[in-house]
């Protein structure tokens, strides 16, 4: 069973609305990732953290997406103004540092923007 917990599993928002999803990484994992998986099952990296600090993020994330991973609280990803093209499965993942460390994924939050 996945030890990365994502909530909610399903989220429906209107265009222009905020959409917020949360993630509890596996205990002891300092590295957290957010990916977007589209309807064609393609993965797109959004942002990642190590110990609450942003390591990398893509341009899209910098503009409409915001994310944080505060200590002792769930990580979150928020879309400020949802667009139809944001409809996708948002996957949170965590790992130990290190190139060969297994990346553990949550089951995702499926966002539908209507």
Is 105 among the residues that bind another protein (CB under 8 A)?
yes
Selected from 7, 15, 42, 62, the binder of another protein by CB under 8 A is 42
- Chain length of the chain: 114
Indicate the DSSP class of residue 86. Answer: G
Considering the complex, what minimum distance in angstroms separates the CB of residue 84 from another protein? 22
Q: Which of 7, 15, 55, 64 binds another protein (CB under 8 A)?
A: 55
Q: Give residue for tokens 């589209």.
A: 38
CB 21 within 8 A of CB 76: yes
Give the shortest CB-18-to-another protein separation in angstroms.
25
Q: Residue 97 Cβ, how far from another protein at the closest point, in Å?
A: 6
How many residues make contact with another protein (CB under 8 A)? Answer: 27
Place of tokens 């103004």: 81
Residue 49: HSE in the Cβ half-sphere, 13 Å Cα cutoff: 23
Does the protein bind another protein through residue 97 (CB under 8 A)?
A: yes
d(CA 80, CA 45): 18
Tokens of 45: 């990296």
Residue ranges binding another protein (CB under 8 A): 2, 4, 31, 33, 40-43, 45, 48, 50, 55-56, 91, 93, 97-108
């Amino acid at each position: 069973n996945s030890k990365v917990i994502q909530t909610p599993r399903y989220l429906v928002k209107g265009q222009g609305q905020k959409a917020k999803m949360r993630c509890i990484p596996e205990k002891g994992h300092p590295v957290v990732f957010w990916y977007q998986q589209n309807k064609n099952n393609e993965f797109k990296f959004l942002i990642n953290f190590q110990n609450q600090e942003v390591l990398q993020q893509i341009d899209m994330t910098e503009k409409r997406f915001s994310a944080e991973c505060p200590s002792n609280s769930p990580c979150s990803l928020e879309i400020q103004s949802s667009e139809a093209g944001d409809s996708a499965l948002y996957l949170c993942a965590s790992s130990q540092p290190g190139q060969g460390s297994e990346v553990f994924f949550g089951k995702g939050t499926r966002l539908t923007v209507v």
